[in-house]
Amino acid sequence: MNDSLPRRAGAIAALCFAALAAAQDGAQKLAQVRLNAGIHNINAELASTPEQREIGLMFRTSMPTNDGMLFVFERPGQQCFWMKNTLIPLSIAFLGDDGSVVNIDDMKPQTLAGHCSAKPVRFVLEMNEGWFAKRGVKTGSRLRGAPFAN
């Protein structure tokens, strides 16, 4: 019997636990960009790689009021999101290249229900649930910031 097998299994378990603990502490801390919705500032982390987009806001237990995550895709497409392993309720805005809001939806934590863009987009912004509604941001509103062709 190989004595190193239990040690390797223990090491793998420890790494998995550490990764999960880090994820719960918001370990995926990404570069940020400042966006504006009228007079309201948004501090948005940029998720621009497939791995960053896949993890998104998973495992976080809270998020500051004006923080969010901007998902950036290489080319326009129908973007669909769900909330598996996402612990906080979110609102999602699908955005055109100029920052215009195509559609907004509310998403419940830990569900697999799909939330999709009404038309092809490259940008998707997730904020705490109700953020857009509380600030009067709706379909047709326009966000400003460096990622958008303003």
- Cβ atoms of 77 and 111 within 8 Å: the answer is no
Q: How many whole angstroms separate alpha carbon 49 and alpha carbon 47? A: 6
SS3 call for 15: helix
- Using alpha carbons only, give the angle 42, 48, 53 rounded to the nearest 5 degrees: 90
Q: Which domains does the chain have, with CATH numbers?
A: 29-145 (2.60.120.1140)
Q: Write down the residue that tokens 């509604």 correspond to.
A: 133
pLDDT of amino acid 28: 79
Answer yes or no: are the C-beta atoms of 44 and 67 closer than 8 Å: yes
Amino acid letter at 105? Answer: D
As a whole number of angstroms, the distance between CA 82 and CA 79 comes to 10
- pLDDT one-digit tens code per residue, 73-129: 999 999 999 999 999 999 999 999 999 999 999 999 999 999 999 999 999 999 999
Per-residue pLDDT tens digits for 33-67: 999 999 999 999 999 999 999 999 999 999 999 99
> For residue 53, what are the contacts with CB-CB under 8 A and spacing of at least 6?
47, 71, 73
pTM, two decimal places: 0.82
Closest C-alpha to 28, from 48, 49, 54, 56: 56
